[in-house]
Amino acid sequence: MSAKDPTWISDWNPEDPTFWETRGKVTARRNLIWSIVAEHIGFSVWLIWSIVATKLPAAGFHYTTDELFQLVAIPGLIGSLMRFPYTFAVTTFGGRNWTIFSAAVLFIPTFGLAYFVSQPDTPFWLMLLVASTAGLGGGNFASSMANISFFYPDRMKGWALGLNAAGGNIGVSSVQLITPILMGLGVINLYQATPVSGVYLQNAGLMWVIPLIIAVCGAVFFMNNLTSAKSSFKDQLAIVKRKHTWIMSFIYIGTFGSFIGYSAAFPLLIKTQFPQITIGIAFLGPLVGSLSRPFGGLLADKIGGAIITFWNFIAMAAATIGVIYFVGIKDFTGFLAMFLILFVTTGIGNGSTYRMIPSIFREENLRKARGKGDAGRAMAIKTASIESGAALGFIGAIGACGGYFIPSGFGKSIAVTGGPQLALVIYLGFYAICLAFTWWFYLRRSPAEASATGLAEARI
């Protein structure tokens, strides 16, 4: 601990087995737990509108179907943009400090939602602005993942990052399960508005006030900052020049972008395509996708991230074809089964691709340090840690764009063709490209050991 500030840890070396077993493991686990709590609530706030939008017509809001999908999509866009500054905030302000701030700022979208959903005369542009503030919750993932990556040794990053991400991702399922229930109860009703069709939309925002207070207090009292994670913005910005940053960003749109995009669109997609089915079942998709994510990281730790990602994209493509078929014949059972499989594959792909990122940067930096002795190797490992932490957030930011493009694509597809099939065909083509990229850059064998394609030999 720092003598001046006990919240800062100045001697952190998780790669040392003795340090890890005697001191590191307990501290890392404590920070991981509270990171998950804050990130879980962040995801929940981020996806509030996926449920609220389905209830607005019954509450007297006269928005078109395309406008409802825009309300669902806009938090995804803002969340992806917020991830860029959030990524670099950890190494500037400290992981604990930024967790406190990023959790506290979520009072803005929760109270904003609670007020405006009780005003049926709210114009669409203003409601879109209110919905966009929920994107603040999407930024939490980038800072949380970057922070936790510094706490764990390289051999455990896949599992640790998988748990951290799954704990956040499952917030999507929580909000889609709990929100419809609480909107039917008038126990908490800040503005005493008269419910329409028995729905208290205000509760969708108010339900997160106490959890947010708990998250802020938990970060204040139980989390730490790492001096070893401090880095200048210039040092971190070096990742922008690394081609693997952009390749993995593209691939991550296919995995995480699909997860967050489908999660946001799923309730409204069910309501528009199968109006006789309750949207209460929508939580199952994000739930299975979240639970499968740690196993994607675990499999990647044991087998290799690239090979898991490759076969996972094949499974995603097959499930997408199934969704296209069953939504076309209006068979909800088949539609739900295929979509749940698709959600599982997005979770596995999230875990495996995120495990690839630190491995890639570690391998690339170690190759540059060959022949430079132990000092060169130590510096390479430290540089890889800084770069991979920044890359995790940066890639996560670009990947989150799927949270906007997928719901928006569904809305446009339904408006133009009357169904979501056109959008699904486009997503299917995107998975084919991701599959090709994964093979070409990370699985294709090459005699040129120092080349990018030589990463295949390293079992990235």
The predicted model scores a pTM of 0.85
Taking CA 139 as the corner, what is the angle to CA 410 and CA 102, rounded to the nearest 5 degrees?
140
| Helix ranges (DSSP H) in 369-420 | 373-399, 402-417
Q: What is the model's pLDDT at position 196?
A: 59
Query: How many percent of the chain have pLDDT more than 70?
Result: 93
Interval 30-67: pLDDT, tens: 999 999 999 999 999 999 999 999 999 988 899 999 99
The CA distances from residue 244 to 10, 120, 153, 192, in Å, are 31, 48, 22, 53
> Residue 9: which pLDDT band, with cuts at 50, 70 and 90?
very high
> Residue 376: which pLDDT band, with cuts at 50, 70 and 90?
confident
- HEC-encoded secondary structure of 46-115: HCHHHHHHHHCHHHCCCCCHHHHHHHHHHHHHHHHHHHHHHHHHHHHHCHHHHHHHHHHCCHHHHHHHHH
Whole-angstrom distance, CA of residue 259 vs CA of residue 277: 22
Mean pLDDT confidence for 339-368: 91
Given a cut of 70, whether residue 154 has pLDDT beyond it is: yes
- HEC-encoded secondary structure of 319-360: HHHHHHHHHHCCCHHHHHHHHHHHHHHHHHHHHHHHHHHHHH
Q: Which of 8-22, 230-244, 396-410 has the lowest mean pLDDT?
A: 230-244
Given a cut of 50, whether residue 453 has pLDDT beyond it is: no
Interval 241-285: pLDDT, tens: 889 999 999 999 999 999 999 999 999 999 999 999 998 899 999
Interval 378-402: pLDDT, tens: 888 878 878 887 888 789 889 999 9
Given a cut of 90, whether residue 435 has pLDDT beyond it is: yes
> Residue 450: which pLDDT band, with cuts at 50, 70 and 90?
very low
Per-residue buried b or exposed e for 282-318, using 16+ beta carbons within 10 Å of the residue's own CB: bbbbbbbbbbbbbbbbbbbbeebbbbbbbbbbebbbe
Average pLDDT value for the chain = 89
Per-residue buried b or exposed e for 355-387, using 16+ beta carbons within 10 Å of the residue's own CB: bbbbbbbbbbbbeebeeeeeeeeeebeebbbbb
Q: What is the model's pLDDT at position 195?
A: 66
Mean pLDDT confidence for 171-185: 87
Interval 74-105: pLDDT, tens: 999 999 999 889 988 888 899 999 999 999 99
3 state DSSP class of 226 = strand
Q: Tell me the one-letter amino acid at 269.
A: L
> Residue 186: which pLDDT band, with cuts at 50, 70 and 90?
low
Interval 199-241: pLDDT, tens: 788 889 999 999 999 999 999 999 999 988 777 777 778 888 8
Mean pLDDT confidence for 108-129: 94
Q: Which of 314, 308, 335 is nearest to 324 (CA)?
A: 335
